[in-house]
Amino acid sequence: MVRSSFFYLILAASLLGAGLLQTQEISVNQLVLKADLVLVLVIALTLVRGLREGLLWAFGGGLLLDFLQPAVMLGGSGLLGVSSLLLIAVALAASLGQNNIFEANLIMPLATTAFATLLYRLLLLAFVNLSFLISNPTAALLRQVLPSVVINTLLAPLFYSLIGWLSRRLAPQLPSEWQ
* Residues near another protein (CB under 8 A): 16, 20-29, 32, 34, 36, 51-52, 55-56, 58-59, 62-63, 65, 67-82, 84-85, 88, 92, 121, 124-125, 128-129, 132, 136, 139-140, 143-144, 147-148, 175-179
CB 125 within 8 A of CB 144: yes
- Shortest CA distance to 140 belongs to which of 156, 124, 153, 155? 124
Q: Which is nearer to another protein, 72 or 154 (CB)?
A: 72
For the bound state, the minimum distance from the C-beta of residue 147 to another protein, rounded and expressed in Å, comes to: 8
Q: Which is nearer to another protein, 59 or 115 (CB)?
A: 59
* Residues contacting 145, CB < 8 A, separation 6+: 117, 118, 121, 122, 125
Q: Which is nearer to another protein, 10 or 122 (CB)?
A: 122
Q: Cα–Cα distance between 122 and 127 in angstroms, integer?
A: 8
